[in-house]
Amino acid sequence: MSAVMMAGLLAACGGNGDNNNAASTGSASAGASASASAGSSDKPVTINMFTASPEYTDAFNAYIAEYKKVKPNVTINLEIMQADYNTVLKSRIASGNTPDVFQTTAGGDIDTFAEYSADLTNEPLAAAMTDAVRANMTSTDGKVLGLPVKGNLFSLIYNKKLFEEAGITEVPKTTAQLDDAIAKLEAKGITPFANAYKEWWTWKHVFQHFVDAAAQDAGTDAKTLVADFIAGKTTFKDHPVLENNFFSFVDTTIKHGTDKPLERDSNAEVGDFAAGKAAIMTGKGAWDEEAIEKITPDIQIGIMGYPVSDKAEQSVIITGADQALRINKDSKVARETTDFFNWLYTSEYGKGWFSNVAKVIPPIKDAPLPDLQMPKAMDEILKTDKSGDLSVNYSLDTFHQKFGEIMQAYVGGSKKKDQAITEIQQAWIQLGSAE
């Protein structure tokens, strides 16, 4: 098994996870191989797997090694890349060298790569997915064409101890409450925000919270609103929460955040937060917890929705699946590859793998949550509050990358707000859809 590691960060992955201490949950159950096709032979099979999630290298290798016990004849070659992953993937597809398994973002990109993806609709793995995750893996014509890498959580992340020191007894849910919390933190000499605005992909994680609120204000859903932006049927001026509140929030995080925001990447943000240099992390999610706790093991972490407006009910966390693995439908080992993932998504080992080895939010039913603070907090919040819509899934990452670059120019001062808005709207029309 080979792992090719390159620097950089993929669109929606935090890239900070560390699974070096992850342990197997035990051997696969005796009946685990029952999910494999009854017609499978024992001839040697090699599956080439090309992914963009180096933070899960150890976890991927763990389930590859476990499957070797179930199917000794199957060898899985794991290749991992982050820098230029999308460019390399498209080049390989164009040259007819499509990997047996490859990774893309979910949502809109499910359709982008549909012609290369095996239809998994009637496979046991599709039935094992949670309803929300399966929707993220489904094409516009109703076919399940992707496998979730993990479930995910997007929220503001805060340091409970620093909030307590500042006298903040309730998490802010409105913009006024956020302003009050900022004043209390700074009165105690605490920097409110840690940002990673050097990373283009963190911008989409912030923005989607405001998109959800804009859709709610317009009496529609996020998917419809994004489609209207892509079609040029609506503009920021129709949605004050986008034209005003979003940019006001960005300005606030810059004014009351760590220095040199365009020089702070994902790892720097995690380091700033874990070291107590800032009280709130923006643009990130559940994937960061292990990296934070590796630096400060006893840190007490909380999660909260973004205060996007004066409506407390619009401050919600967002959950779902934004990364997908795809099985090459033209692969000579497509059946054996599908058998492998059927095993992972339905066996007892697989259910435990997500929580105990990868330590991620399971995208499948009847799997335990990992023993981490953020997933547990998410579970408690969702008992009483609804999750926001994972609206990043309704645009392609070609748009999201351009969006991030525009916002970086705005923060750097080379673009004014009106110019940034005009270019974002143009990018949505030009790059937001595969059509």
pLDDT at 6 over 70: no
With H, G, I as helix, E, B as strand and everything else as coil, classify residue 153. strand
* More confidently predicted of 380 and 132: 380
Residue 215's alpha-carbon distances to 208, 222, 250, 391, in angstroms, are 10, 5, 20, 10
* DSSP codes of every residue in 362-389: -SBTT-PPPS-HHHHHHHHHTTTSPPBP
* More confidently predicted of 12 and 162: 162
With H, G, I as helix, E, B as strand and everything else as coil, classify residue 6. coil
Mean pLDDT over 347-367 rounds to 92
The pLDDT tens digits of the residues spanning 209-243 come to 999 999 999 999 999 999 999 999 999 999 999 99
Say if residues 61 and 78 touch (Cβ distance below 8 Å). Answer: yes
Cα–Cα distance measured from residue 232 to residue 106, given in angstroms and rounded to the nearest whole number: 23
pLDDT at 40 over 60: no
Q: Which helix (H) or strand (E) holds 308?
A: none
Average pLDDT, the chain: 89
pLDDT at 328 over 90: yes
Cα–Cα distance measured from residue 25 to residue 30, given in angstroms and rounded to the nearest whole number: 14
Cα–Cα distance measured from residue 409 to residue 197, given in angstroms and rounded to the nearest whole number: 11
Q: Above pLDDT 90, what percent of the chain?
A: 77
Query: What pLDDT is attached to residue 420?
Result: 98
pLDDT at 8 over 80: no
Cα–Cα distance measured from residue 256 to residue 2, given in angstroms and rounded to the nearest whole number: 44
Q: Which helix (H) or strand (E) holds 338?
A: helix 334-346
pLDDT at 163 over 70: yes
Cα–Cα distance measured from residue 217 to residue 266, given in angstroms and rounded to the nearest whole number: 32
Cα–Cα distance measured from residue 358 to residue 350, given in angstroms and rounded to the nearest whole number: 10
Cα–Cα distance measured from residue 324 to residue 429, given in angstroms and rounded to the nearest whole number: 24
Say if residues 363 and 67 touch (Cβ distance below 8 Å). Answer: no
By residue count, the chain amounts to 435
* More confidently predicted of 427 and 29: 427
pLDDT at 128 over 50: yes
Mean pLDDT over 285-314 rounds to 95
The pLDDT tens digits of the residues spanning 306-315 come to 999 999 999 9
Mean pLDDT over 358-379 rounds to 92
Mean pLDDT over 2-27 rounds to 37
* More confidently predicted of 183 and 55: 183
Phi and psi at 182, nearest 5°, equal -60, -45
Cα–Cα distance measured from residue 94 to residue 329, given in angstroms and rounded to the nearest whole number: 15
Q: With bands split at pLDDT 50, 70 and 90, how would you rate the model's confidence at 41? A: low
pLDDT at 288 over 50: yes
Cα–Cα distance measured from residue 107 to residue 223, given in angstroms and rounded to the nearest whole number: 10
Mean pLDDT over 377-383 rounds to 93
Phi and psi at 361, nearest 5°, equal -70, 120
Pick from 398, 386, 105, 394: nearest CA to 222: 394
Say if residues 324 and 105 touch (Cβ distance below 8 Å). Answer: yes
DSSP 140: T
Tokens of 62: 């763990």
Domains by residue range for the chain, with CATH: 32-152+321-369 (3.40.190.10), 156-316+396-431 (3.40.190.10)
Tokens of 198: 């050097």
pTM of the complete model: 0.81
Query: What pLDDT is attached to residue 434?
Result: 64
pLDDT at 43 over 60: yes
Cα–Cα distance measured from residue 258 to residue 272, given in angstroms and rounded to the nearest whole number: 8
Q: With bands split at pLDDT 50, 70 and 90, how would you rate the model's confidence at 270? A: very high
Cα–Cα distance measured from residue 134 to residue 137, given in angstroms and rounded to the nearest whole number: 5
pLDDT at 344 over 90: yes
